[in-house]
Structure 1
Amino acid sequence: MGKLLCDSSTVAETFQSSSPTVAWRDPPAKSAPLDEDPIEALDLVDQSTADAWDAVLGLEDQQRRHLQRLHAKGVLWKHPEEDDSSLPQKSMVFRLSHGGEVSSDGNCLFTASHKAMMAAREVDARELRRRTVRRFLEDYGSASVEERDVISDVIRHLYAPDLRAGWGIHVIQEVKLLAKKDERVSLDSAIDELLQLGMQRELAAESIYKERCIPVSDGPSWAKYMLISGSPDDEYDIITLQYTEEGLLTIDENREGHAAAFGDDIAIECLATEFKREIYVVQAHGSDAMVDEENCVFFLPHRPRTRICEPPFFLFMKGTGWCGAGADHYEPLIAHPLSFVSQEKVAMVL
């Protein structure tokens, strides 16, 4: 599953440095004009190949038609960096095909990215997760105090929200806590002590977890959280407290330790930075989102904080409503480079 709860542009801004001593981003670059940069790549797939979108489950007719049109005509990506970039081709046309299902185990951002990137076998989804967190910590460590405060505000909004606010937008809000695996027995003992005093089970658990576990509320705690893949090797377990406006709804105590940290916009930007590539999340909304067919597919860009040296890769999310109902799972898109097509003939210019 995935998480797209904050504007990626906001996250990007939090990582940009206003201090001349911290090199968060290379100097602004100029985009290369399209007519100066014809691509010479050959088609990797036959233009007449049957569209694989017919076999993708869970799509409405308007979503499928729009995605088939993107597949048939291609999308044009223009390199946003300056002419001396290490990427030789400044404009590329891609045909986007669905890359197949991936497991809904909380690791889908990294599993889907691995497939979409067509990464080497030795770089598996868990390694992508580790590299994402390492990149975040390196960049976070070089940030100013003010920048870290902004980043922490974003993280708190995602994982430790103010339960006095936000109810005009959300029906249920979640608070994420981290429990050390080797402390679960002592946590249970403390909960049992409160039960013996007559406290209700969920209220006792809420009290102990909030007192003794780590809230995901800043950069270091986000890094601990994002490393969790649901493996026995994880240092922490994820505890999830769910609230309605009336109070505590339920607690997911994750006693088997299988819960993984869902990828979010911060993770996507760090992944983009690590590999010096743009990442586009292609989100398709259904008819209940009150959008017409021409506007039912969105391309959400995530820019790296360094010079772009590789072509972009693409991830897919399919939703059934404007608020993203059902759109919490990433799937891979395979981008096939095509022969040069004029800007007027492609389905979309990114």
Structure 2
Amino acid sequence: MKLYEMRDRQSFGFSAENPSGSKGGGTRGGDCEKLRPCIDIQPGETVTLCETQGPGMITHMWFTGYIGHSFILRAYWDGLEEPSVEAPVSAFFGCAYDENFADRDGNYPVLNSAMVLVAPGRGYNCYWEMPFHKSCKITMENRGAQAQTLFYMISGWHGAIPENSGYFHAAYRQEHPVQKGRSYTVIDGIKGKGCFVGLSLAAGMNGHNTCWVEGEAKMYLDGDRYPTMNYTGTEDYFGGAYAFGNDVYQHRYQTFSGLYTGLYAILGDTSDTYNHQKRFLLYRWHVKDPVYFDSDFRMVLDNLGWTGPRYDDYTTVAYWYLESPAPTPVKLPEDGEMVMK
């Protein structure tokens, strides 16, 4: 879209100050006066953050406050009773190790991509476009044991969308640890016509960590017995090479954060301190190279090192578009099973 082209669209924004998202529905406070900048969500409570009729498009979501794994983000399209997006808010934004606030250098981890931005201070931003034909509902559930505060802004527009617009989907998976000798399933059970557009990965090392990135990424399309998309290694799939620098010259993993891929954070002790888990946060957006399928899709990622199969902790969120809205094909673990310190 060219910004200077005039469109028949009406912008909306849902926030604590304008929970209805209605035109002129924001604060009645005066200049420099905050009346309701945030909300509290009680244990076991689900709050509807955005509910509006279509057609239209969600273009940006921003969250801060409590942004840990006990908050579950869900999105429902066109009146579907089950969510097409369901993930802990931290993992959805590529920050599944949400209890770690400093990277190996003592800084906030910063994910600086075109589709997701995790800014210093834990500001979560999402720029995935999410069209809807009839309706949109976005909720946040608190599965924790205590009340938590949420600041939020969900913005978009009402107006005509192309008839062939697909629906955004996202689903969470974890294996703590990955079963040694078996591929980790990023996503399975996707049915229908669509395109896969990326994933975020949190990897926690178990055992000796000379190298953990030998595992291949494999994508199976439309009934494939063998993968159609077969990458050569984990670091290669995420756009890097030679263990992101650990194999050559400096012999040290180096972070990077690009428009569409990155190893944006390394957490934990980087020495060989006994029994101290190292953690890596990565993302790969298939914006310029979407993976299209007609009937079904699944993806696996090997957990493999120089010495053979590993048993690391893997956590992912997969993102895709489908021709019709569908429930996520994965069931969330219990809240207590998601704790990753």
Class of the TM-score when normalised by the shorter of the 2 chains: under 0.3
Higher helix share: 1
When you count strand as a share of all residues, which structure comes out higher?
Answer: 2
Normalised by the size of structure 1, how large is the TM-score? Answer: 0.24
Q: TM-score, normalised by structure 2?
A: 0.24
